[in-house]
A and B are shown apart, each in its own frame.
Chain A
Amino acid sequence: MAIKQISVFVENRMGTLVEITKTLAAADVDIRALSLADTTDFGILRLIVNDPERAIKAVKDAGFTANVTEVIGVLIEDKPGGFSRAIESITNAGISVEYAYAFITPNIGDAYVIVRVEDNEKAEAALKKAGVKVVEQSEIISI
C-alpha cells in the first residue's frame, strides 16, 4: 500500500543539488514531489518520483548515498482543516509523525500529503477508519 520514497544524502557543497537532479533528468525520471531538509552541515533530499527503481539505480550509480523508504500518501481536501483531520487520526492511534510534506495536484480541490511514520500499517488503518483516503503508488505515478 505504501509509497516508495527516495532519500538522497546532500553534501553541503555548492552544486550538489544540481548534480542529483541532473542525474535524475538524464535517467528520464519525473519528480512528483520533493522535500529538502538541511542542517548547516548536510541535507537529505526526499523525492517521490514516477519510477522509484530507475531513480534509485541512477543516483546510486552516480555515486550518491541513497535509500528507499516506504511512506504513506494521503489525499486531503485542499481547504482549512484538511491536513489536521488526517494528522489527528494518526496521532490518536498513538503514532508519531517523523516528517511530512505536501503537494497539490492538477485536480482543483485536492492535495496530497506524504507522511513518514514508524508503523505504516497501523497508520493506514487509523487513517482509513477516520475516512481519510490513502493513495497508492500507482495513483502517484499517474498524476
Chain B
Amino acid sequence: MFFNKEIECMSRKEIDSLQLERLKWTVDYCYKNVPFYTKRLDECGITAEKIKSLSDIQYIPPTTKDDLRDNYPFGLFAQPVKNIARIHASSGTTGKPTVVGYTKTDLENWAECVARIVVAAGATPDDIVQICFGYGMFTGALGLHYGLEKLGATVVPNSSGNSEKSLMFMRDFGTTGIVATPSYALYLAELAQELPFPMSDYKITLGLLGSEGCTPEMRNEIEKAWGLFATDNYGMSELMGPGVSGECRERNGLHFCEDFFIPEIVDSETLEVKDKGEVGELLVTTLCKEGIPLLRYRTRDITRLNYDSCKCGRTGVRMDKVIGRSDDMLKIRGVNVFPGQIESVIVADSRVGGNYQLVVRREGYADTLEVKVELVDATLLEKFSELERLQKELFHRIHTVLGIKCKVTICAPKTLTRFEGKAKRILDLRNEDN
C-alpha cells in the first residue's frame, strides 16, 4: 500500500533532479526572504546559480538550534506572520523554545508526508486511530492528526492523561490504531491488564510510536501486550514535525520523504560530508518549506543512511534508528564513539541485561575503553567457556561497530544499577589522573 506511489517509488535519478531543482529554489528563497540567510550566503558566496549538482550542498554552512534561538521568535521566518497559518514550539527545556511557523501550503505538505508514513506503517482509511500524544505546542499530536485525516482514517484526538477513559474509548469505539510514545503505550497496556475487561475487548492492531527512543525489547513488549504491529517514525519541529521519515512494514530503516527533505551524514566535528553508508550526524535541508525553510539543519542525531533498495518498493533513502546524539559523543583514540552504538550491541544480546557502563581511561598515552555489562543468563554458569565466549563475542561485535578494541567486563546484575540514569552511563576518567 502506498499513499503516493508515483513519488514514493521514483527512481534515484528522478529524485536527484527533483531535489536539485528544489534545493536551488530553497537557497534562492532563503536568500531573498530571510535576512539571516542573506548574510550567511553572502559570506560564503553561495547563490542558487552556483549550485550545479546536489553535492554542492556541502558548501552551504549548516544551521543550528542556536541560530533558531538567537532569532527567537520569528527571526528565521521567510514569510510575514500574516501568512503564517500555525505556530508550534519546542518545549525549550534547554533554553529558549525554538519557534516554527507554517504557511497553509506547509500544513498541506506536512499532512502529505505524514499520510505517506502512516500508510507505509500499515494504516488504511478504515482505521480508527486514537492519538495519545499531548496536543498543545508540540508538533507530534497535530502532525499525526492531520496526516491521518488526510489519509481518510477516523481520528480520535484523545491526547494524553486520563488513561482509564482513553482505554474506555478504545474499547467502545473499536479503536484499531494508537499513536503514543513507547513508554505511554506500555503504560496503557499495563493499566488495561489491571482493569476488569479482557484484552480481547481491544482491537488495536497498529502502533505508531514516536517522539522518544524505543529499544527492540520495549517494542516487543508493546506488540505482545496489545497484539499490534508497531513502527517507528522520526521528525522534529524545526524540520516540520513527525513525517520526516518513517518505517515501512519491513522495519529495516526509516524512509525519508525525499521530495521534501535532503538528508546528509556529516562528521559532527569537522562537518565534512561522510561517505555513503557511514555513521555520523544527520543534517537535513527542507525543500518546500515556506514558513521557516532551513538549510542543512544540524539535527544532532547520529545515524546512517542506507540507499539500498527496500522490499516494500519505496525508493526513499532509509535512515537507521537514531543511535545517539552528537552531544554524547566520546572521542577515544581519535575515533568517534557514540554510546548508542554500543547499546545496540548490548540490547541485542539476551545473555546480558540492558544496563551497561562505559569507562574511558588514559593509560600512558593511549585511551582505553572498558564496557561493563551485566550477566543475566544464569545458564552460562554451567561452563566457563560460555562466559568467555560471551566476552569474546561482545568484544568482536563492539569492535565491528566502533572499529576500536575494548575490554568487556562481565558484572553481576546488581552492580551497575547504582549508575542508573543516562549521565552515569559514561565514566570518563581521562582527566582525573592528570
Check B410–A98 contact: CB distance below 8 A: no
B381 touches A67 (CB 8 A): yes
Contacts of B382 in A (CB 8 A): 7, 67, 69
Contacts A9-B375, A98-B383 known; A41 to B412 CB distance under 8 Å?
no
CA distance A127 to B409 in the complex (A): 39
A91 within 8 A of B: no
In angstroms, Cα B381 to Cα A64, docked, is 12
A-B contact count (CB 8 A): 54
For B, the interface residue count at a CB cutoff of 8 angstroms equals 19
Contacts A11-B415, A65-B375; A42 near B410 (Cβ below 8 A): yes
Q: Are A65 and B409 in contact (CB under 8 A)?
A: no
Indicate if B413 sits at the interface (CB-CB under 8 A): yes
Cβ contacts A33-59/B at 8 Å (1 or 0 each): 000010101101000000000000000
A-side contacts of B375, CB under 8 Å? 9, 65
- From 345 to 398 in chain B, residues with beta carbon under 8 angstroms from any chain A beta carbon are 375-379, 381-384, 387-388, 391
Answer yes or no: A105 CB below 8 A from chain B CBs: no
The answer to whether B422 has its CB under 8 Å from any CB of chain A is: no
> Nearest A residue to B375 by beta-carbon distance?
A65
A67 lies within 8 A of B379 (CB):
yes
Question: Does B387 lie within 8 Å of A65, measured CB to CB?
Answer: no
Taking A9-B375, A11-B415, A63-B414 as contacts, is the C-beta distance between A41 and B381 under 8 angstroms?
no
- Docked CA distance A26–B411 (Å): 23
Asked if B381 and A7 sit within 8 Å, CB to CB, the answer is yes
Check A44 against B413 for contact (C-beta < 8 Å).
Answer: no
A62 to B414, CA, bound (A): 9
Q: Which residues of B contact A44 (CB under 8 A)?
A: 381, 384, 387
Please name all residues of chain B whose beta carbon is closer than 8 Å to the beta carbon of A98 when the two chains form the complex: 383
Given A9-B412, A16-B412, A41-B391, residue A66 in contact with residue B384 (CB < 8 A): no
Q: A41-B391, A42-B410, A44-B387 are in contact. Are A8 and B415 (CB under 8 A)?
A: no
Residue among B381, B383, B410 making CB contact with A66, cutoff 8 Å: B381
Minimum C-beta distance from A96 to chain B (A): 12
Contact A66 B411 (CB under 8 A): no
Please provide the chain A residues from 1 to 40 with a CB less than 8 Å away from any CB of chain B in the complex.
7-13, 16, 37, 39
Q: Which residues of B contact A11 (CB under 8 A)?
A: 410-412, 415
B396-434 to A contact mask, C-beta < 8 Å, 1/0: 000000000000011111110000000000000000000
How far does the Cβ of B357 sit from chain A's closest Cβ, in whole Å?
A: 13
Bound CA–CA A98/B383 (angstroms): 8
How far apart sit A41 and B376, CA to CA, in the bound complex (Å)?
17
A7 CA / B388 CA spacing, docked (Å): 16
Q: How far is the CB of A2 from chain B (nearest CB, A)?
A: 14
The answer, among A13, A42, A66, for a CB contact under 8 Å with B378, is: A66
Docked Cα-Cα span, A63 to B415, in Å, equals: 9
Complex contact A67–B378 (CB within 8 A) = yes
Complex Cα–Cα for A71 and B153 (A): 62
A65 touches B412 (CB 8 A): yes
The distance in angstroms between the C-alpha atoms of A16 and B375, with both chains bound, is: 15
Q: Are A9 and B381 in contact (CB under 8 A)?
A: yes
Q: How far is the CA of A9 from the CA of B412 in the complex (A)?
A: 7
Expressed in whole angstroms, the minimum distance between the Cβ of B369 and any Cβ of chain A is: 15
Evaluate contact between A37 and B384: CB separation under 8 angstroms. yes
Given A65-B375, A66-B378, A67-B381: A41 touches B415 (CB 8 Å cut-off) = no
| Residues in B neighbouring A7, C-beta threshold 8 A | 378, 381-382
Task: Please measure, in the bound complex, the distance between the C-alpha atom of A42 and the C-alpha atom of B382, giving whole angstroms.
Answer: 14
Asked, given contacts A11-B412, A65-B375, whether A39 binds B381 with beta carbons under 8 Å apart, the answer is no
Q: How far is the CB of B351 from chain A (nearest CB, A)?
A: 10
Most buried by B among A10, A13, A65, A67: A65
Can you give 24 contacting A-B residue pairs, CB < 8 Å?
Answer: A7-B378, A7-B381, A8-B381, A9-B378, A9-B387, A9-B410, A9-B412, A10-B412, A11-B410, A11-B411, A11-B412, A13-B415, A41-B391, A41-B409, A44-B381, A64-B412, A64-B414, A65-B376, A65-B377, A66-B381, A67-B378, A67-B382, A69-B382, A98-B383
| Residue positions of A touching B, CB distance < 8 A | 7-13, 16, 37, 39, 41-42, 44, 62-67, 69, 98
Question: A11-B415, A44-B381, A44-B384 provided; 4 other pairs, C-beta below 8 A?
Answer: A9-B410, A41-B391, A42-B410, A63-B412
Q: What 7 A-B pairs have minimum CB-CB distances, sorted nearest first?
A: A63-B414, A67-B378, A7-B381, A67-B381, A11-B412, A65-B375, A65-B378
